[in-house]
Structure 1
Amino acid sequence: METLGSRLKKVRERKGWTQKEAVKRFGITNYQLSRYESDFSNPDPDLIAKFAEEYEVTTDFLITGKEEKKYPSWGDEAEFEAWVNDPTVNKFYKEFNESPEERKKALLAVWEILKTQGK
């Protein structure tokens, strides 16, 4: 049976992070992370929320194991595949994902403005 600890370890590894990298991001000790991932102790709710945000999963997934819906509902799977594999989309996503948080916020604000133009 999967546990909170095993899910924490799984999503950390899915991100490609070592425990050392994770503890720096979360401001906890290696000992604490090791105890969380081995189910010897549980993180507080605020830390679970931080784990979920950084690991890009839901708190529900971490706590219960309930899989979140990964993609919006697309009418046509081929259309979705084409969108995902578009080099421009991949380039934008990679650059966006590697941007500092302030730049991400600015880009999202610009996107909101652009969406309203022409309505």
Structure 2
Amino acid sequence: MTIFSQRLKNYRGKLKSQDSKWTQQYVANKIGVARVTYTAYENGTKMPPVDTVNSIAELFNIKTDYLLGRTDNPEPSNEDYSYNTLKQINELLKKFNIDQSGLFDIEKWKTMGPEEIKQLESYFEFIVQEAKKKNKQKD
């Protein structure tokens, strides 16, 4: 068993002890692979491609370097957290076709947590729905 497979299995086990939804099937669905493929990752018989390692790390909210054995600290640093937060916000801006200029202070965005990002997504959905309503009223 590789360090990657050991850490993957152990970390999923830790999450599962806190919430029973963290089965191999659940993780496999979330990262877009078959359960047998994910099982092979945990058993060390198959190594996932880089993009899948990134998906796993994002899902578990841990560092890829931890999974790969380059650090013993699974927790993302503030810098890692800021990058991931900005990435998620940029994805929302693209999803809702919103021009980010003038919306918010980018430094404030870096400190947003997952719950605040969900609230931001709800706000963007509201903005888009209101704009559609106004456009229909004009017609």
Q: Same fold (TM over 0.5)?
A: yes
Counterpart in 1 of 2:115?
A: 96
Deviation for aligned residue 1:19: 0.7
Counterpart in 2 of 1:66?
A: 71
How big is each residue's C-alpha offset from its partner over 1:48-69, in whole Å with a ceiling of 9 and x where there is no partner?
0111111111010000151237
Q: Is the aligned partner of 1:25 residue 2:30?
A: yes
Unpaired runs of 5+ residues, structure 1, are 73-92, 107-119
Deviation for aligned residue 1:47: 0.5
| % identical equivalent positions | 23
Q: C-alpha separation between the residues in 2 aligned to 1:30 and 1:53?
A: 18
The question of whether the paired residues in 2 share the 8 Å contact of 1:8 and 1:62 is answered with yes
Q: Match of 2:121, as an amino acid?
A: E
Paired residues for 1:6-17 under 5 Å: 6-16=6-16, 17=22
Higher RCO structure, 1 or 2 (CA under 8 Å, sep 6+): 1
The partner residue of 2:61 within 22, 31, 56 is 56
* RMSD across aligned positions (CA): 3.6
TM-score, length of structure 1 as denominator length: 0.57
Deviation for aligned residue 1:10: 1.4
Over 3 Å counting, the alpha-carbon distance change for 1:70 and 1:63 in structure 2 is closer
Unpaired runs of 5+ residues, structure 2, are 17-21, 78-112, 126-139
